[in-house]
């Protein structure tokens, strides 16, 4: 089995099932344990081909082949071959290129033409022609959303999405100091750096994400892998001696941080029972489960009604996570944007309707669209239900719509694309 073929099978399943690359890859290698050694190569291929698939189709056309003649697995195999030949031909065995070319019934002339194509030169020409959708392999309707959001230095933002994201961990300060953890990780060979904003945050310079979740210190609960933008929410909430409700608790990253920062009690609601189980396992590993109460319910219909702080991190398009989840470009649509926006509205409405006056509500998303952030929040403020308030720490950019709303971007803040709004029930 060639890694290119395994990668093509996985990508075809991702596209057809409309599910995450990670879950499909895990399932595939669970079923094919005899080729687990291919995992690292397949991961690189699948991520980079997904990040560049529109441009790769364009390059195939330049080389004289219409990629639409292939479908399903063969279409992905062609993209993989184009990527490998144009990006890393010196590392490839000619025999492997020849085998894959034979599978696709490609002529030597096509391969030779590919070898002479300057990908970055092609990208620069496309940018000059204002075809940044092809240059950065982003569907055009998403480009329009990014432009509407007035993302600073848009092309730099799009370029950042083509690479692995920055990696952050949150220190379990109730178990170990940041200085001690930094020393332990450095002894293991990790390159790490203390964050300048948060006392419980460390940047991991090397990208061995999968290994970080397997160290003895991870299993002891000394740290958890969490993006800095998500860590920000805990410090914005400042939950010491407060009762906190998380309406969409998910895997438990924010709820455990709330307990770590001194919350009296955290009520974690989620509609997905399995995710609550994951949150419980996560909290037990960190030694923080005793102050967390899990409730399996739909927060658009029912919420715990007397918290001091409410967190809403709703399902969203996730466009701030495109670097780590490039498959979203295949799955998302305008229709889905409208669907999640309705769900976000329902969550906000149900919280605002049921909490007492003065309750602080923190609304955050890992997306960069105005439609899922400012538009929704300002709608409720105009109707007089809430007041958007200034908050600290403010480490990002001020929204061009409302300077009280904070935005973070991967190319400027080394986080995922993120938006934070703090409001009070009036």
Residue 304, pLDDT score = 82
Q: For the chain, what percent of residues have pLDDT higher than 70?
A: 99
Q: Per this entry, what is the length of the chain?
A: 426
DSSP bridge partners of 386: 425
Residue 32 DSSP class: -
Query: Quick count: other Cβ atoms within 10 Å of Cβ 358?
Result: 9
Mind listing the pLDDT tens digit for each residue in 167-219?
A: 999 999 999 999 999 999 999 999 999 999 999 999 999 767 778 999 999 99
Is the Cα torsion angle 357, 359, 365, 370 positive or negative in sign? positive
Are 29 and 36 in contact by the 8 Å Cβ rule? The answer is: yes
Chain-wide mean pLDDT for the chain?
Answer: 95
Per the model's pLDDT, the better-predicted residue between 208 and 20 turns out to be 20
Cα atoms in the Cβ-side hemisphere of radius 13 Å centred on 390: 2
Q: Can you say how many angstroms the Cα of residue 195 is from the centroid of all Cα atoms in its chain?
A: 20
Residue 90, pLDDT score = 58
Q: Can you say how many angstroms the Cα of residue 375 is from the centroid of all Cα atoms in its chain?
A: 22
Mind listing the pLDDT tens digit for each residue in 354-412?
A: 999 999 999 999 999 999 999 999 999 999 999 999 999 999 999 999 999 999 999 99
Residue 89, pLDDT score = 58
In order of start, what are the domains of the chain with their CATH numbers?
A: 3-120 (1.10.940), 167-225 (3.30.70.1170), 229-425 (3.40.50.150)
Are 222 and 176 in contact by the 8 Å Cβ rule? The answer is: yes
Are 219 and 175 in contact by the 8 Å Cβ rule? The answer is: no
Are 74 and 81 in contact by the 8 Å Cβ rule? The answer is: no
Residue 326, pLDDT score = 97
187 exposed, middle or buried (CB, 10 Å; 0-12, 13-18, 19+)? Answer: exposed
Is the Cα torsion angle 317, 273, 271, 226 positive or negative in sign? negative
DSSP bridge partners of 365: 419
The residue with tokens 């971007």 is: 409
The two structure tokens encoding residue 325: 């989840």
pTM value is 0.93
pLDDT of 305 above 80: no
pLDDT band for position 97 (cuts 50, 70, 90): confident
Q: What is the DSSP string of 211-241?
A: HHTTSHHHHTTSEEE--HHHHHHHHHH--TT
The two structure tokens encoding residue 337: 């944007």
Q: For the chain, what percent of residues have pLDDT higher than 90?
A: 93
Please tell me whether residue 405 adopts helix, strand or coil conformation: coil
Query: Quick count: other Cβ atoms within 10 Å of Cβ 193?
Result: 10
Taking the C-alpha atoms of residue 403 and residue 91, their distance in angstroms, rounded to an integer, is 49
Q: Which residues contact 311 (CB under 8 A, 6 or more apart)?
A: 233, 237, 244, 245, 246, 247, 248, 254, 258, 362, 364
Buried b (16+ CB within 10 A) or exposed e, 287-307: ebbebbebbeeebbeebbeeb
Residue 95, pLDDT score = 76
Buried b (16+ CB within 10 A) or exposed e, 384-409: eebebeebeeebbbebebeebbbbbb
Q: Can you say how many angstroms the Cα of residue 271 is from the centroid of all Cα atoms in its chain?
A: 21
The pair phi, psi for residue 133, each rounded to 5°, is -65, -40
Mean pLDDT over 140-163 rounds to 97
């Amino acid at each position: 089995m060639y890694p290119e073929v395994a990668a093509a099978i996985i990508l075809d399943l991702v596209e057809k099932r409309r599910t995450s690359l990670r879950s499909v890859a895990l399932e595939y290698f669970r079923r094919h344990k005899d080729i687990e050694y291919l995992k690292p190569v397949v991961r690189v291929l699948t991520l980079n081909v997904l990040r560049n698939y529109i441009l790769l189709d364009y390059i195939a056309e330049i080389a004289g082949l219409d990629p639409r003649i292939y479908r399903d697995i063969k279409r992905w195999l062609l993209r993989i071959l184009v990527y490998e030949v144009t990006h890393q031909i010196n590392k490839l065995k000619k025999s492997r290129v020849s085998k894959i070319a034979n599978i696709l019934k490609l002529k030597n002339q096509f391969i030779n033409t590919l070898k002479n194509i300057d990908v970055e030169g092609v990208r620069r020409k496309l940018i000059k022609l204002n075809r940044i959708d092809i240059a950065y392999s982003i569907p055009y309707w998403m480009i329009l959303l990014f432009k509407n959001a007035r993302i600073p230095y848009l092309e730099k933002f799009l370029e950042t999405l083509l690479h692995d994201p920055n990696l952050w961990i949150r220190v379990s300060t109730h178990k170990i100091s940041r200085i001690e953890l930094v020393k332990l990780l450095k002894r293991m060979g990790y390159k790490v750096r203390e964050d300048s904003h948060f006392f419980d945050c460390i940047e991991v310079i090397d990208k061995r994400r999968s290994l970080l979740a397997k160290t003895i210190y991870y299993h002891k609960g000394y740290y958890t892998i969490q993006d800095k933008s998500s860590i920000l929410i805990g410090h914005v909430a400042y939950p010491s001696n407060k009762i906190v409700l998380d309406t969409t608790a998910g895997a438990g990253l924010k709820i455990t941080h709330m307990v770590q920062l001194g919350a009296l009690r955290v009520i974690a609601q989620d509609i997905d029972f399995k995710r609550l189980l994951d949150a419980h396992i996560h909290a037990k590993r960190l030694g923080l489960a005793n102050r967390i109460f899990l409730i399996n319910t739909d927060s658009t219909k029912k919420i715990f009604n007397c918290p001091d702080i409410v967190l809403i991190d709703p399902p969203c398009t996730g466009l701030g996570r495109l670097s780590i989840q490039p498959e979203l470009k295949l799955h998302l649509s305008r229709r889905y944007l409208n669907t999640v926006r309705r769900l976000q509205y329902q969550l906000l409405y149900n919280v605002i309707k049921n909490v007492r006056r003065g309750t602080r509500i923190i609304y955050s998303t890992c997306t960069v669209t105005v439609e899922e952030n400012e538009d929704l929040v300002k709608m409720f403020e105009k109707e007089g239900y809430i007041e958007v308030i200034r908050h600290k720490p403010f480490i990002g950019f001020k929204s061009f719509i409302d300077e009280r709303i904070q935005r973070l971007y991967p190319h400027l803040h080394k986080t995922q694309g993120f938006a934070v709004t703090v409001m009070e029930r009036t």
